[in-house]
Every structure is written in structure tokens, then in C-alpha cells.
Amino acid sequence: MTISKRPGLLVKRKVLGLGATALLLWLVGSAVFRGGTDSKPGPVSPRVTRPPGTAALIERLQRTRLLNAEEIDRRLDLGDASFFDARQVRRWHSSRRGNTEVCAVGFVDPDRVDYRLRTFPDRESALAEGTVITHRDHCGTCSSLRNLAAYLAQPDLTSPARTCARRWTAGGVKACLMEEIGFEERCAETWAENAVYTRRHCLGPCIAHYGLWNVLTDDIRAPNTDEHGNLNPCLACDERVSGPGFQYAAGRTRRNSGLTSAIARPAAEIHPVDHTLYFR
């Protein structure tokens, strides 16, 4: 009897082990979900507030309509490949320091509602065409003005993002991000894929840094950075593993859009962008 029950017992132990691993991955996902690491602060970070007049700008941004979203997706040239492993992502990231590309907005109607996005080789080229620069780097899945409105509306994304990261599947995370934060579908999909990928690859560093009990109880109070401004090991893993792919696919991040976050960053990393120029 004992021998006959051993295979079933082994199976049960394997299932329990897989279940525990999945639970840890899920919990760690909510701890490290940073959308490329530069968008969502931790609980102990300083509070970030919106500048005066932002509400009116957000309202106008939300009424805009991007006309060439599919073209932007095609130019990313990702196909069915994961943007975390794509060869062109590695090439782009390795040469990013000297990259001068910008993503710019060109309105096509006098009311400034309908517009197209276009990637220019540099700032001067964009300005010469009469377009308005919306962020540094090429246009991507989060480059639209409605997604910019979502970033502006919630400068501190900690609570909604961590809530969404607790969904079991990428589809669930994506749906939550669209509903709770207001991201458009392709942008939310990019964030969700980032969350799932980071769960898979940063489990060890995050548990080692935060502690297993703190991860299990969602008591994540460790600072985002040390006294020298370096990201903690958990967030550093997210930035190293998922950052390049997320930045390539999303196009827009807080830093390259001139937006600060509650994670302290050197001023040189915040690309200056004047978002009031769209409607002047």
C-alpha cells in the first residue's frame, strides 16, 4: 500500500511545488512591476504631484485621436517575437547613448484633434517639419497623446499598478491597466508583458532583497534606491532584464517624456519636453 501510494504522493508534491512557485512569481510580480522601472515608485518614495494647469491639458489630450497607430506598430518590426529577446532591440539598446531620435506629433486638422506620430532622426528635423516633439527616442506603443494623458493624470502609479500586477495572467493585467490607469490597448499590453517577463526572471533577487515573508505578506517597504541613487537589487533586475525591451516597444517612458517620478533620477536623465505646445 505504501509503495502504491508513492507515485501519487510525488505528483502531489510536484503540484504543490509548482503552485508555490507560481504564487511567489505572482507576488514578486506586484513588487517589481515598474513598467520599465522608471514609472512607478515604491511605498517609501517621495510624493509626486501634478503641476498647475495639468488638468486642462489632460482633458484636451484625451480628446485627441491617433491616425497611424498600426503604422507605428509595423515600424517596430517585432512580428510575433517577444520584444525582450528580439535582435533589433539589443542592437538599439547598445547604441542608444548616441541616438538622437525623437517622436513628434503632427496635427492634420485645425481643431488639433486628429494627428499622426512620426519618428525623426533628431530634434532639428522634427521642428523643421512643424511638428511638436512628444518624447525622445522612436515612437512606440505608448507614444500616443492619450497615453501621455494617463501618465500625467497619475504621476504616482504605485497603487493602481501594483493592484493590476496581482492579476494572474498578462490579459488580466492588461485589462486592469486599461480600466484603472487609462492606457490604450497596445500600451497596456506592453506594460503587462513587462510585468509577466519580470516575474519570471527576477524572483530570486527580489526575494533575497525584500525577504520571503515580506513578499508573501506584500509588506514591501525597502527603499527604491540606496544613498548613492542606485536602484535596489530587485528593481535593478527589472531594469536590466526587462528595461531594454519595454523601452523599445513602448517608445514613451516618463523620463524621455520630461516627466519626473517618485523614483529619484539624475536631472540629466530627464529629457526636456514642453507638453503645452500641442495646442498653441
* Span 171-228, pLDDT tens digits: 999 999 999 999 999 999 999 888 888 888 888 888 887 787 776 666 666 677 777 7
Q: What is the mean pLDDT of the chain?
A: 79
Domain presence at residue 58? yes
Task: Band the pLDDT of 74: cuts 50, 70, 90.
Answer: very high
The pLDDT score that the predictor gives to residue 182 is 94
**CA dihedral for 10, 12, 18, 24, sign (positive or negative):** negative
Domain presence at residue 17? no
Amino acid at 31: A
Cα separation, 9 vs 71, whole angstroms:
54
Domain presence at residue 84? yes
Q: In the predicted model, is pLDDT for residue 4 greater than 50? A: no
Q: In the predicted model, is pLDDT for residue 117 greater than 90? A: yes
Domain presence at residue 10? no
What's the rounded mean pLDDT across residues 68-82?
A: 86
Cα separation, 118 vs 139, whole angstroms:
7
Q: In the predicted model, is pLDDT for residue 7 greater than 90? A: no
What does each C-alpha distance from 217 to 108, 116, 203 come to in angstroms? Answer: 51, 46, 15
Please indicate whether residue 33 or residue 209 has the higher confidence score (pLDDT): 209
> Is residue 146 helix, strand or coil?
helix
Q: How many domains is the chain built from?
A: 1
Q: In the predicted model, is pLDDT for residue 34 greater than 60? A: no
Taking a C-beta distance cutoff of 8 angstroms, is the pair 24, 207 a contact? yes
Domain presence at residue 2? no
Cα separation, 232 vs 34, whole angstroms:
13
Cα separation, 279 vs 143, whole angstroms:
17
Closest CA to 132 of 48, 60, 35: 60
Which of 140-149, 180-189, 205-214, 270-279 is predicted with the least confidence, judged by mean pLDDT? 205-214
> Is residue 102 helix, strand or coil?
strand
Taking a C-beta distance cutoff of 8 angstroms, is the pair 86, 101 a contact? no
Q: In the predicted model, is pLDDT for residue 37 greater than 60? A: no
> Is residue 266 helix, strand or coil?
coil
The pLDDT score that the predictor gives to residue 159 is 65
Domain presence at residue 26? no
Domain presence at residue 13? no
- The angle, 0 to 180 degrees and rounded to 10, between the axes of the packed helices 203-210 and 2-32 is 80
The pLDDT score that the predictor gives to residue 68 is 98
Residue carrying the nine cell digits 505646445: 277
The predicted-structure confidence for 60-73, as pLDDT tens digits, reads as follows: 999 999 999 999 99
Domain presence at residue 186? yes
- Cα angle 195, 201, 204; round to 5: 115
Q: Which residues contact 101 (CB under 8 A, 6 or more apart)?
A: 119, 120, 121, 122, 136, 137, 138
The pLDDT score that the predictor gives to residue 168 is 74
Q: Which of the listed ranges 5-9, 66-70, 89-93 does the model predict with the highest average pLDDT?
A: 66-70
The predicted-structure confidence for 223-255, as pLDDT tens digits, reads as follows: 777 777 777 888 888 888 888 999 999 999 988
Please indicate whether residue 129 or residue 165 has the higher confidence score (pLDDT): 129
pTM of the model: 0.79
Task: Band the pLDDT of 30: cuts 50, 70, 90.
Answer: low
Q: Which domain holds residue 81?
A: 34-279
